[in-house]
Structure 1
Amino acid sequence: MDTIRAFIAIELPPAVKTELGRVAEGLGAGLPRGAVRWVRPAQMHLTLRFLGDTPAERLPDVGRALDAAAATQSPFALRLDGVGCFPNRRAPRVVWVGLAAPDGGESAPLLALKAALDGALTPLGWPPEDRPFRAHLTLGRVKDEGAVRGVEWAADVQPLAVPVAALHLIESDLRPDGPIYTVRRTSHLRSD
């Protein structure tokens, strides 16, 4: 059976990717080479849902689910909101920059869009994830825990705007030199 490795995401404007690259470069400057595998800015996006290996024959159904979720929400904006780590700063596995509403709080439109997406995917066999959704943009994944012990993970992050106007179904083709992403479908948020 033909499958693709897929996820659903929100694309980022070039200025945001540039800022994320600047932040990652600053964080990595004092670390040993290879301690963190940094994500290339061109590949950064806001993942709303990882689907994993998805049968190609299911893509039309997933596309309709994207359309249904996108129809529930008008375009809105987020903003970059500071550096964090999963699971925590003392023992990080993932280093990220958060996203917030323009006023700095949680984004009700983003949470509503995520809930609509989960609701549309559940009947297709992708129930909501067990962990709560935390809007973040992955900067890097820790490869050497000892090398990052005691790092503060602090950086000035410009609160740049991240407009949200569409959902994208993206194919991820894993390669030795990094993944290749191909947008398979775009569903635009409703226009009022």
Structure 2
Amino acid sequence: MRCFIAVRLPEKMQSEIATLSAGMQTASEFLKTRITWQSVRNVHITLAFLGDIPESSVSDAGLVMQKIAGRCGAFSLKVGSPLLFPNDKTARTIALRLAKDVDVLTDLRNSLVNELNRRGFDVDTHPFMPHITLARIKSRENLLGIKKIVEARGLAHFGVMDVEQIELIKSTLTPSGAIYETIEVSRLHS
């Protein structure tokens, strides 16, 4: 099964992001660029992508989550304006910025990845660049147009969210998009 570990966003914030996302989607329809917009109910902050793992490994992943979550206290993240990710020139994603306790989020992610790899999972150890994906840019024919759409919403902010748990999420790919199902939750200590 295809799985990842992530932080989910609160429903109220999802609904505010849906409004921004819908506006950008409408504006981008006139561009000759293929953009795949993520369902707002699926927005999250990926901490570790596990890929396809056997069902027998789910409990091991859950144990790692519990161990690491037990060492990390709850924290807050500020969800801010949209940006092209990883940068304007090589953009593959339209995402939202994160601020405030990003260092705590990064430490949590690094601890998870290190422990998962130590236990035999094959998790990418690339440098962590925390963000929330709104859309994937499938062709870069009109990056300037996309950049203008994103910059026009540069003052958008969604407030602060409390991060109190991490989730192991099963991702089932379908022709109409991914279906996410939480299969394990680990609470951060308070």
TM-score (norm 1): 0.87
How many residue pairs get aligned? The number is 184
Please name the residue that 1:32 is paired with: 29
Distance in 2 of aligned mates of 1:172 and 1:182: 7
The answer to whether structure 1 residue 12 and structure 2 residue 28 are counterparts is no
Distance 1:144 1:128, change over 3 A: closer
Q: Look up the SS of the partner of 1:16 in the other structure.
A: helix
Distance in 2 of aligned mates of 1:189 and 1:142: 34
Distance in 2 of aligned mates of 1:23 and 1:176: 24
Shift of residue 183 of structure 1?
A: 0.8
Shift of residue 11 of structure 1?
A: 1.1
Please name the residue that 2:68 is paired with: 69
Q: Look up the SS of the partner of 2:94 in the other structure.
A: strand
Distance 1:111 1:144, change over 3 A: closer
Distance in 2 of aligned mates of 1:113 and 1:187: 12
TM-score (norm 2): 0.88
The answer to whether structure 1 residue 137 and structure 2 residue 132 are counterparts is yes
Distance in 2 of aligned mates of 1:114 and 1:183: 18
Q: Look up the SS of the partner of 2:129 in the other structure.
A: coil
Shift of residue 23 of structure 1?
A: 1.9
Q: Structure 1: any 5+ residue segments left out of the alignment?
A: none
Name the aligned partner's letter for residue 167 of structure 1: I
Distance in 1 of aligned mates of 2:182 and 2:86: 29
Distance in 2 of aligned mates of 1:128 and 1:63: 15
Structure with higher helix content: 2
Distance in 2 of aligned mates of 1:145 and 1:96: 16
The answer to whether structure 1 residue 146 and structure 2 residue 136 are counterparts is no
Q: Look up the SS of the partner of 1:183 in the other structure.
A: strand
Equivalent residue in structure 2 for 1:22, among 1, 19, 23:
19
**What do the CA deviations read for 1:44-86 (whole angstroms, capped 9, x no partner)?**
1111111000111111111110001101111111011222222
**What do the CA deviations read for 1:8-55 (whole angstroms, capped 9, x no partner)?**
011110121122222222222322367311111111111111100011
Distance in 1 of aligned mates of 2:124 and 2:52: 16
Please name the residue that 2:171 is paired with: 172
Q: CA RMSD in A?
A: 1.8
The answer to whether structure 1 residue 112 and structure 2 residue 107 are counterparts is yes
Distance in 2 of aligned mates of 1:88 and 1:112: 23
Distance in 1 of aligned mates of 2:93 and 2:133: 7
Distance 1:175 1:132, change over 3 A: same
Name the aligned partner's letter for residue 23 of structure 2: G
Distance in 2 of aligned mates of 1:93 and 1:72: 34
Is 82-91 or 160-169 further displaced after alignment? Answer: 82-91
Equivalent pair of 2:62/2:184 in contact (CA under 8 Å): yes
Equivalent pair of 1:8/1:51 in contact (CA under 8 Å): yes
Name the aligned partner's letter for residue 12 of structure 2: A
Distance in 2 of aligned mates of 1:140 and 1:13: 19
